Chains A and B, each alone.
Chain A
């Protein structure tokens, strides 16, 4: 079956612009996560959805970042007034449920965001 998909694969924007990054999780996966990975670092947690609601948004760096998952499937990460420091690979992951302590999270290919 299809894995996690993310669009676009690459996004180049100018400082101050608004961007949207899309994630389509594996069908039937109720849990969805966004991470951000900077060069030479491991992924850093941003936000977690269980169904339609954001269960934990403690990783969002500031109020320029917002994410939605209105129908409990596709999610969109929105970044307002982009800054050069937002440049990174944004990874989306999904899992069947958060109930199991060792539930596997499957990662999408990521969106490479470059803010000029």
Chain B
């Protein structure tokens, strides 16, 4: 079993819709979780982190964490074409363990 698994993509959503990204992790002791966005040919950039159970909202992004289910998700509301990128889930145990990423395409 991989340490971090993300729902397979690619994910295509129309502009203005909600994009939902899922991630599960295997290490029950993990404490904090990051979502990175990576545009093609660029390096990852952090968009959100979460370490408490529940929801965390930042603008159009909402991260959700359920430690009992070892599950992290990211919702992108009112998706824009500029959100088209690969989204990487990472578990932070001082070193980051990444999932393979989910590629999102927002159709104008």
Show the binding face of A for B, using Cβ within 8 Å: 31, 33, 35, 40-45, 48, 56, 59, 91, 93, 98, 101-110
List the 3 closest pairs (A to B, CB-CB), nearest first.
A42-B98, A107-B43, A102-B32
**Roughly how many angstroms separate A107 CA and B43 CA in the complex, as a whole number?**
6
Q: Which residue of B lies closest to A109 (CB)?
A: B43
A-facing residues in B79-108 (Cβ within 8 Å): 88, 90, 92, 94-101
Q: Chain B: interface secondary structure?
A: strand
Interface presence of B31 (CB below 8 A)? yes
Cross-chain contact of B44 among A44, A45, A56, A107 (Cβ < 8 A): A107
Q: Given the complex of chains A and B, what is the CA–CA distance between A59 and B97 in angstroms? A: 11
Contacts of B95 in A (CB 8 A): 33, 45, 48, 56, 59
Chain A's closest residue to B95 (CB) is A45
Q: Which residue from chain B places its CB closest to the CB of A98 in the assembled complex? A: B94
The B22-74 residues at the A interface (CB cut-off 8 A) are 31-32, 34, 42-46, 49, 51
Contacts of B43 on A, CB cut-off 8 Å? 91, 107-110
A45-B96 CB under 8 A given contacts A102-B32, A110-B43:
yes
A59 to B96, CA, bound (A): 11
In the complex, how many angstroms separate the beta carbon of A23 from the nearest chain B beta carbon?
12
